Amino acid sequence: MNKPYEPKSYNQKDDSEVRQFTIQKDDAGARLDRWFKRHLPQVGFATVSRWARTGQIRLDGKRADVDTRLEAGQVLRVPPGGTTPASKGPRKRKPLTEEQIALAESMVLEKDRAAIVLNKPPGLATQGGSGTYEHVDGLLDAYVGEDEPRPRLVHRLDKDTSGVLLIARTPGSAAFFSKRFSGRSARKIYWALVMGVPDVKDGLIELPLAKQPGTGGEKMMVDESGEGQAARSRYRVISRAGNRAAWVELQPLTGRTHQLRVHMAAIGHPIVGDGKYGGQGAFLTGTISRKMHLHARRLRIEHPEGDLIDVTAPLPDHFAASMVSLGFHEEEGDIPLEPVKLVSEKDVAKRAAKAHAKEYRKERRGERRKRADGGGGIARKPTGKRAGGAPAGKKGADGKPAARKPVAGKPGAGKPAAGRAPAPRKPAGPKR
């Protein structure tokens, strides 16, 4: 029997003989076809489907389908061949410059087998886009070792927001962390400087958000028409600089685009330096930087191995300088968080399914409302008649509303109209 390959041998090139692989912990729960895409990308989906259909792929000696979920420790038998042309293989990695590698290494706060925690600087985008060539996603190759999978983003920060950014090192940990973010069990703490001082020192903002028309999805707005997505943010005033500005702690309880920025602007206290949502009223005079003052200070999330990731990111230079100028002290801001309640995989899946169902129902309600408003059906013209009775408004000879005519075979047929005494019955005569 062939000896099962270890993870570092997944990408071996010899496909002239039967291969056997031991499923690792990171791939537990993944579909069989996803495993091939991760570890043997040179084998096309059509080939994997044919092998499964003809019984050439085996898991612990048993047949398996492309949608079979894998378990750690199983032995996967892969037949010889199946290699596709080189042009369809894994993409070639673009070499990084020395400056890019140095930048990538300077951002690292913590690193282990499952995750890399970065302190993203302001001005660096998380992902690429139109006209965006420098971004965190483009630097992830700097963290790849020999025969290791490429790290993956599992959440995002706005370009001008600094602070904690979590990167998954393996496909398995990426799936694990993504479930924690979508299930809202991850705890994210932001610091911000805002214009003015909120009257309520510790409050909850619940305002639905939607994309602002005409901006190409680049700007969000509060939408209380029923079409917006539910969004909830908690804030706490840590300190104040007179009535000029306040230092606040923010916690997004949902994960909408630009959520914290839109919510703070909506209550009249835009984040300092956020001209997109606060306009000219979002800037302080004097020595305060015009950059945005929003920083992902702390992240606490479960680790795939059962521990807890709890990381705090130092402030960027412009934010720290503004804190000093306004008389704020960093040690006043960090407070202990309550003990985290670990969430089981089953509960995480339930929460994700519930959130998906809620969004689906909201979309369907919106579709029905549009059909009703847009004349999706044919409107009926009023007839002026009541069902089963005289025309509406028609009166009898005595000027009173005409009585409804009883319908034969219906309950109540032949009964006197309500409010009238029944006619006296004639006494029956003697029988003849």
DSSP code, position 25? G
Whether the CB-CB separation of 388 and 404 falls below 8 Å is answered with yes
User: Other C-beta atoms within 10 Å of 90: how many?
Assistant: 12
How far, in Å, are 134, 327, 339 from residue 79 at the CA level?
42, 69, 50
Pick the catalytic residue from 26, 27, 158, 160.
Answer: 158
The one-letter amino acid at 432: R
For residues 329 and 240, give the distance between their C-alpha atoms in angstroms, rounded to a whole number: 11
Whether the CB-CB separation of 184 and 253 falls below 8 Å is answered with yes
For residues 168 and 154, give the distance between their C-alpha atoms in angstroms, rounded to a whole number: 7
Share in percent of the chain as helix, strand, coil (round to 5): 25, 25, 50
Tokens 């839109």 sit on residue:
262
Written as six digits, the tokens of 52 are 């499964």
Give the residue from 189, 180, 144, 151 showing the smallest Cα distance to 303.
Answer: 180
Written as six digits, the tokens of 188 are 């994210």
For residues 342 and 185, give the distance between their C-alpha atoms in angstroms, rounded to a whole number: 8
Whether the CB-CB separation of 164 and 311 falls below 8 Å is answered with yes
The dihedrals phi and psi of 271, each to the nearest 5 degrees, come to -70, 135
For residues 173 and 168, give the distance between their C-alpha atoms in angstroms, rounded to a whole number: 6
Give yes or no: 158 in active site: yes
H or E stretch at 256? none
Buried b (16+ CB within 10 A) or exposed e, 279-304: eeebbbeeebbebbbbbbbbbbbbbb
Buried b (16+ CB within 10 A) or exposed e, 48-66: beebbeeebbbbeeeebeb
**Residues with active-site annotation:** 158
